[in-house]
Structure 1
Amino acid sequence: MEVYKEVLLLCLFLFTVFLRCHSQSTDVLEAYIKTDGAWIVKLPKSQYTVKTVEDCAIECNNETSFTCRSFLYNQKDQDCVTLPANSKTDQILRRMSTALYEKKEYLLECVNGIGTDYRGTKSKTKSGKTCQRWEETFPQVPSITPKTHPKADLESNFCRNPDGDQRGPWCYTTDPGERWENCDIQDCTEECMQCSGENYRGKISTTVSGFTCQRWDSQKPHNHGYIPSALPDKYLEENYCRNPDGEPKPWCFTTSPSKRWESCNIPRCTTEPPTIVPELTCASGEGSSYRGTIAVTLSGKTCQEWASQSPHKHSKTSENYPCKGLEKNYCRNPDNERSPWCYTTDPDTRWEYCSVPSCGDQPTPEEPVITVGDECYEGDGSSYRGAMSKTVSGKKCQFWTSMEPHRHSKTPQSYPAADLRRNLCRNPDGDRAPWCYTTDPSVRWEYCNIERCDSKPSVQEPLTIPTVPVQTSAPPKTDCKVGNGASYRGPTSTTIMGVTCQAWSSMTPHQHASFTPETHPDKGLESNQCRNPDSDVNGPWCYTTDRDKKWDYCQIPDCDGLNCGQPATKPKQCFWKIAGGCISKPHSWPWQISLRTRSKIHFCGGTLIDAQWVLTAANCLERSDSPSAYKIFLGIHKERATEPSKQERDVSKIIKGPAGTDIALLKLDRPAMLNDKVSPACLPEKDYIVPSNTECFVTGWGETQGTGGEGYLKETSFPVIENKVCNRLSFLNGRVKEHEMCAGNIEGGADSCQGDSGGPLVCYSQNAFVLQGVTSWGLGCANAMKPGVYIRVSKFVSWIEQGMKEN
């Protein structure tokens, strides 16, 4: 019995030690900020081989050769590099499968207490004097140096508090008449905002009227499109007040059903706002730094002064937007528009973009983005000139001329032959495929969602028609991948360069411990086939039998079968400019139907959502409640419907939506024949809200208003506009209901129009096009600040499913 007790106590002790160590290894990463795809080349550095990223963090914390501010970790290589540098001090480069972890304390630009632990980069005193470098002896001969205070981080000329001065960080100055002076650095606990609070990261969570804020990741009591996971650069944490959409100050949705949203009462900081480098002759990115004197719009109209409320009343004043350079009537971009703009002196034109030249080869707003049909790339994609601006994981690309959120050297000036326009996917540096920097602060760059022209799936999956996008847990048996290929279990066992894969259980020629059949028993690592055990966004990979190349990706084609929302012919995905759109590739939107009179005249659109069901707008059925009054054409590209692929069906039943809603179901007299020219779109998840600024696509044969393409199916894309913005006085003034959604370019130029009603608004998600909207109404077509309004399909999923089941 005594032996049993001793063994039990020993087991309990070991279990306690394990829990403590596990907790420490998990918590150690909380002191770091991670950025995928980032790399710093810096000496000195230390290199270690470790089993986990937590072990690498411990090496950084225990580093004695230098002050470790960050570390690099490559999970596939189990390579750990500790560094004295971070993104504030050194240039960040691109590197595949490497993550940069930076210590938060060295990124903070505020002080706790008297700031003895301040490690930011402020280098000016309260009176604006430049700090002298701590190791220099001119003009001041310092008594405190890096040698006398080795733990105080006295590097460069950054403000520090090595001697515990009660007034906070200080520095020796470069002014011979002023030996030293304190620095003006904000207190970390001070709840205040700079400018309009775009970068406010505080924790105030009540509005000016005392309402408690609704969590950003919640849709109750108010549905909204500000989804934290889709807008990582907006820092929509918890229920804290934020300013994601260019309001004069931070705000939030409230927990009161009677008050949708309200501003928060956050005082302005007393410290100087962050400085910008003014651009006087051109605009980079979205032009937020432009401070030139151009005051004329694209159509030649004179700009209204920002301080004036005539002829147009507005809130874009220097009081509301103090850091935006709203002087006189100069073109500016105070609210994150696509480029600089202004209100005009023409009473009939509220505002327009300006004719400010772009820095580099970026086109001005009136120029259409290239849509030359480059749906794939040749070779390494250096010659790709298509219009894709999304990465393989669906992230939006950062403008090449912008330095936010990622600073870089790949600019149009540095690479004039690379066609680095706007935020389009390109390959300026001879990488293996087109890529871009992302707008996600935690992911520096990714390859783009473009296929190689010679990459065609060898086998297609069988036809399935789910009503919502389904991520199957069962591995596909074909030699193609779905999504990022995490479920791929095919036979390919060579890399993209033709090198044979090393067996996952083997340690020759490459030692590894991160991915083995034992560590990942459910990932298919039994042999040497290509797999994706870490859900790498770029697809399956393997360790190689080449001693000089530890691992590489495999060339696995996508499974482009006839699942819902997956057209056999890849759409052109025309951008920016069916009024103002472009002619679609034939049958690239195979769910688009033409709703016609008995005499076969087209008058509305619709969407095939099942072999025997079409979704359309109720306003399209006002001429008659009789199913016999209508016909439906499927599988056509020309409005004349002369193609052999045409399928003609009668309507056997009409089911209109709930009272006050513009939606209807049409049952075909017999199921459509599903093929590569006729297939359904996917239905969304119930109550799903499309994130603000998501790029979506509208198709139809409607009125083109003289933009060309009459008689052919046209397409255009534009971003979703959050209902909060769409209901502003200057937009649609409260007309948009909760079961509706807005989409469009606020400057106009592209829109759905007469004849497009009832047609689809689809958004690409998880490898499929999902029907998020039914074209419903608008104030005119393609007018500025008057986006189109669509029925939000996710609000009717239960109604649709019930109607199809019972009829």
Structure 2
Amino acid sequence: LLMCFPDMLFILFAVYVLDGYTKTDGAWILTLLKSQYAVKSVQDCAEKCNTERLFTCRSFMYIEKDQDCITVAANSKIEPVLRRMSTALYERKDYLLECVIGIGTDYRGTKSKTKSGILCQRWEGTYPHKPNITPKTHPKADLESNYCRNPDGDKGGPWCYTMDEGKRWEHCDVQDLECMYCSGESYRGKVSTTESGLTCQRWDSQKPHNHGYIPSVLPEKYLEENYCRNPDGEPKPWCFTESPAKRWEFCSIPRCTTPPPTVVPQLDCFTGDGSLYRGTVAVTESGKTCQTWSSQSPQKHSRTPDNYPCKGLDENFCRNPDNERRPWCYTTDPQTRWEYCTCYFSKSNAVFSDDPVIAPIEDCYEGNGSSYRGVTSETISGKKCQFWTSMQPHSHRKTPMDFPNADLRRNLCRNPDGDRAPWCYTTDPSVRWEYCRIERCATRVISVPALKPITPPTAVPQPISTDAPVKGLYRGPTSTTITGVTCQAWSAKTPHTPTFTPASHPDKGLDLNKCRNPDNDGNGPWCYTTDPSKKWDYCQIPDCDGQKCGQPAVKPRRCFGRIVGGCVSKPHSWPWQISLRTRYDIFYHIFIKILSSMSVIESHILSTRPSAYRVLLGIHTEAAVEPSKQVRDLEKIVLGPRGTDIALLKLDRPALINDKVLPACLPEKDYIVPSGTECYVTGWGETQGTGGEGTLKETGFPVIENKVCNRPAYLNNRVKDHEMCAGNIEGGTDSCQGDSGGPLVCFSQSTFVLQGVTSWGLGCANAMKPGVYARVSKFVDWIEKEIKARNN
């Protein structure tokens, strides 16, 4: 078969060569011990690393546009990893593991101390002990430096000769793969059964249990196969089970016996989420005294020093053991279960708090974006940004403490180091960083003709778009780089010898010197330049104009304020919002979903008489004095399936689509919004005297997985599979009375998708009582069926 299809042999060989490597885009290791080669492919570069003779090759960097290959002796465990555009770092997996499988004959980690803490002697050394196992006697055992190894198959595992004259050798403190440190947040073993023996459900499956822990959206959680993991701050790893009667259960995984990884504590005050704070603040933001963590009175809880051994739960000091937004504690007030603590860090006249209300500014950047203070937290390829205070999945030095004037807040896109545009580290372990999906203010093009009908996205090449489904489809006329340098012709040989030419890539549209994207670079079209000192650069290509669902002409503020507490929206920035009113002007403020003739709302606010209502579209104020106002009567009300809180409204005639009236997008059928996703609600509802009455208000808060929302202290199993939770656990931010039927939209790939509609809650903005929304993805079939039936 392979003789008949030789290309298949090459594909199998390429997969085999790269299978032993972990790839990270946008990463670079700066080290002196390296070799550089000119190669034709990444597979050739891997072969250079595998056959390197000058040193032990732990990783290599490959630059596709230049076809450069750099093999290095270091990896991310030995040297810091830096940002570098269009470079991919490939690290050998066997040199990254710091645990053993079996007796550890293949262990290639960097542990260099014995179980009793003695430093290891170098394998080629002769003092204080003359070894009989050396790099020369065991050339395949990788006896490098003074790292622990098991060259002779010792049943006790890796060992080394020691620097203690009285102890010739000793086993090392390398742990077995199947143990966990702390609460198992970093556990990467393969246990896949629960404490009671139930088989774990695969994380990428939604059967038998729907959930929001989606591997493709939460790559930093390493939700592989059906292995036990701890993605949400539980005391230990767990999994959903394959038993319909048991949604989830903890797994039995022993704690490692060696000391856990050390942390550098923050003693004076905390920054970011405060997970490293080890100071002595013991009072909440309202002045309540904190309860001792080891006590169960007056608050009973599971956040104990035994369950969270690495979180510094000493006495009653404020801590953040479970991935909350900032340090908190249980209180000694029986009426207040817990509260956040308040602490500020000041340096160079800069003050950081975890989540201040962000000023309503235009979400575009000037110059190189160093002054950008917008709210975008998504990269150009749609990846979620990593928090600047987090070292997972990417360790880095761009922290709020080191860059106090860069406003490195939350996971918002910023430019702390003077790069060409705002960027962020990503939550994808395979992509270290990317530029963000933000336009330059001077080049933004927002022109949406009125009454233009919606056209669905198309897969054909777009004339001027970096947002086409495949970024290599751009065929526009631009021929200058982002800095204004003229592009070199793709067929030219000077001043740079190109890797991509019309002959080598005939289907990539490499005409003349036009900007193109022959390698599907995630940052968009580029070209070789006519500047001899810069081989290539990106081009500045504006997005295509046009009205699409979920893409308003006026960009929303996306503020992290609150409806109860107040953040007034920019006029017409949420154009799917409508107002349902009775003939006596009793208001029900809902939203548009299917603007041609039907809308989706919550059914509990409705009677079944269409003639009792009218619908107002294109308004920003309750007074509805805007010239853009459209008024429609109702022809039909269609209640949702029995036991659900959703309904469809059929308008008496279609709405006119323009920049003031535009639908949000329907979600994919049965899609579960991942836990922690930032979503937004809007409404004219009750503000409880906090201001902004009479104008549309907005707030953003995270989705809360139903597993968490149904805990006894929260909503106690009241939330059903066809519903979803969203809000801040501490309260203070919520939809409220009068917001029923309103939209919960989540932002992804430059589009707002309707994921929920406001249904119910226990009060407004109460702590531990998040809002509950109808999960629209569970009703997609029903919506499409009813619309088709009513329109026939």
Deviations 1:335-376 (A, max 9, x none): 1111211111111111111124458656334x5242231411
Structure 2 residue corresponding to 1:501, chosen from 463, 466, 487:
487
Aligned CA distance change for structure 1 residues 138 and 408 (closer, same or farther; 3 Å): farther
Deviation of the 1:481 alpha carbon: 4.3
Q: Distance in 2 between matches of 1:29 and 1:464?
A: 48
Indicate the SS of the match to 1:803.
Answer: helix
For structure 1, which segment, 34-43 or 487-496, has the greater mean C-alpha deviation from structure 2 after superposition?
Answer: 487-496
Indicate the SS of the match to 2:19.
Answer: helix
Q: Is the 8 A contact 1:485 1:531 kept in 2?
A: no
Q: Is the 8 A contact 1:363 1:369 kept in 2?
A: no
Aligned CA distance change for structure 1 residues 749 and 103 (closer, same or farther; 3 Å): same
Q: Is the 8 A contact 1:362 1:420 kept in 2?
A: no
After the TM superposition, which residues 61-460 of structure 1 pair with which residues of structure 2 at under 5 Å, given as runs? Answer: 61-131=50-120, 153-161=142-150, 165=154, 167-175=156-164, 178=167, 180-188=169-177, 191-358=178-345, 363-365=352-354, 368-457=356-445
Indicate the SS of the match to 1:734.
Answer: coil
Deviation of the 1:420 alpha carbon: 2.4
Deviations 1:392-448 (A, max 9, x none): 223232232332222222223332332223332211111001111122222111112
Q: Is the 8 A contact 2:589 2:739 kept in 1?
A: yes
Deviations 1:634-685 (A, max 9, x none): 1111121111111122122111111111111111222212111111111111
Deviations 1:71-114 (A, max 9, x none): 00111221111100100111111001111110011111123454
For structure 1, which segment, 251-260 or 78-87, has the greater mean C-alpha deviation from structure 2 after superposition?
Answer: 251-260
Residue type of the alignment partner of 2:572:
H
Q: Distance in 1 between matches of 2:459 and 2:94?
A: 41
Deviation of the 1:16 alpha carbon: 6.8
Indicate the SS of the match to 1:122.
Answer: coil
Deviations 1:88-141 (A, max 9, x none): 111111001111110011111123454343221223221123445667777778
RMSD, matched Cα: 2.6
Indicate the SS of the match to 2:592.
Answer: strand
Residue type of the alignment partner of 1:490:
G
Q: Is the 8 A contact 1:604 1:620 kept in 2?
A: no
Deviation of the 1:479 alpha carbon: 6.1
Aligned CA distance change for structure 1 residues 487 and 706 (closer, same or farther; 3 Å): farther
Q: Is the 8 A contact 2:446 2:545 kept in 1?
A: no
**How high is the TM-score relative to the length of structure 1?**
0.92
- Show the counterpart of 1:8: none
Deviations 1:613-635 (A, max 9, x none): 221111221xx321121121111
Aligned CA distance change for structure 1 residues 410 and 626 (closer, same or farther; 3 Å): same
- Show the counterpart of 1:510: 496
Aligned CA distance change for structure 1 residues 555 and 600 (closer, same or farther; 3 Å): same
Residue type of the alignment partner of 1:473:
A
Deviations 1:47-72 (A, max 9, x none): 11222211111111011111110000
After the TM superposition, which residues 550-699 of structure 1 pair with which residues of structure 2 at under 5 Å, given as runs? Answer: 550-621=535-606, 624-699=607-682
Deviation of the 1:318 alpha carbon: 2.3
Q: Distance in 2 between matches of 1:750 and 1:601?
A: 25
**How high is the TM-score relative to the length of structure 2?**
0.93
Deviation of the 1:606 alpha carbon: 2.3
Q: Distance in 2 between matches of 1:463 and 1:492?
A: 27
Residue type of the alignment partner of 1:265:
S
- Show the counterpart of 1:50: 39
Residue type of the alignment partner of 2:290:
C
Deviation of the 1:509 alpha carbon: 4.2
Deviations 1:310-345 (A, max 9, x none): 222111122322222222222222211112111111
Indicate the SS of the match to 1:377.
Answer: coil
Aligned CA distance change for structure 1 residues 172 and 804 (closer, same or farther; 3 Å): same
Q: Is the 8 A contact 1:483 1:766 kept in 2?
A: no
Aligned CA distance change for structure 1 residues 286 and 141 (closer, same or farther; 3 Å): farther
Q: Is the 8 A contact 2:593 2:666 kept in 1?
A: no
Q: Distance in 1 between matches of 2:148 and 2:516?
A: 50
Q: Is the 8 A contact 1:306 1:328 kept in 2?
A: yes
Aligned CA distance change for structure 1 residues 712 and 776 (closer, same or farther; 3 Å): same
Deviation of the 1:491 alpha carbon: 2.1
Deviation of the 1:783 alpha carbon: 1.2
Percent identity of the aligned residues?
71
Q: Distance in 2 between matches of 1:487 and 1:695?
A: 31
Q: Distance in 2 between matches of 1:435 and 1:285?
A: 18
Deviation of the 1:382 alpha carbon: 0.9
Q: Distance in 2 between matches of 1:615 and 1:32?
A: 48
Q: Distance in 1 between matches of 2:244 and 2:770?
A: 26
Indicate the SS of the match to 2:473.
Answer: coil
Deviations 1:456-495 (A, max 9, x none): 23876994536xxx65211223567446744322222222
Structure 1 unaligned blocks of 5 or more: 1-11
Q: Distance in 2 between matches of 1:28 and 1:54?
A: 7
Indicate the SS of the match to 1:666.
Answer: strand
Aligned CA distance change for structure 1 residues 481 and 33 (closer, same or farther; 3 Å): closer
Deviation of the 1:216 alpha carbon: 0.9
Q: Is the 8 A contact 2:464 2:542 kept in 1?
A: no
Indicate the SS of the match to 1:376.
Answer: coil
Aligned CA distance change for structure 1 residues 302 and 136 (closer, same or farther; 3 Å): farther
Q: Distance in 2 between matches of 1:218 and 1:13?
A: 35
Q: Is the 8 A contact 1:574 1:581 kept in 2?
A: no
Instruction: Give the length in aligned residue pairs.
Output: 787
Q: Distance in 1 between matches of 2:689 and 2:146?
A: 62
Q: Distance in 2 between matches of 1:119 and 1:592?
A: 58
Deviations 1:542-566 (A, max 9, x none): 2334333222111111124211111
- Show the counterpart of 2:710: 727
For structure 1, which segment, 256-265 or 149-158, has the greater mean C-alpha deviation from structure 2 after superposition?
Answer: 149-158
Deviation of the 1:282 alpha carbon: 2.7
Deviation of the 1:31 alpha carbon: 0.5
- 1:59 maps onto 2:48 in alignment: yes
Aligned CA distance change for structure 1 residues 35 and 17 (closer, same or farther; 3 Å): same
- 1:27 maps onto 2:16 in alignment: yes
Indicate the SS of the match to 1:416.
Answer: coil
Q: Is the 8 A contact 1:459 1:480 kept in 2?
A: no
- Show the counterpart of 1:805: 788
Q: Is the 8 A contact 2:577 2:589 kept in 1?
A: no
Structure 2 residue corresponding to 1:534, chosen from 519, 522, 525:
519
Residue type of the alignment partner of 1:380:
N
Deviations 1:485-532 (A, max 9, x none): 44322222222123333444555543344x445665554345543223
Q: Distance in 2 between matches of 1:659 and 1:162?
A: 67
Deviation of the 1:540 alpha carbon: 1.5
Aligned CA distance change for structure 1 residues 578 and 535 (closer, same or farther; 3 Å): farther
Q: Distance in 1 between matches of 2:493 and 2:647?
A: 61
Deviations 1:574-596 (A, max 9, x none): 12541134111111111110111
Deviation of the 1:274 alpha carbon: 2.6
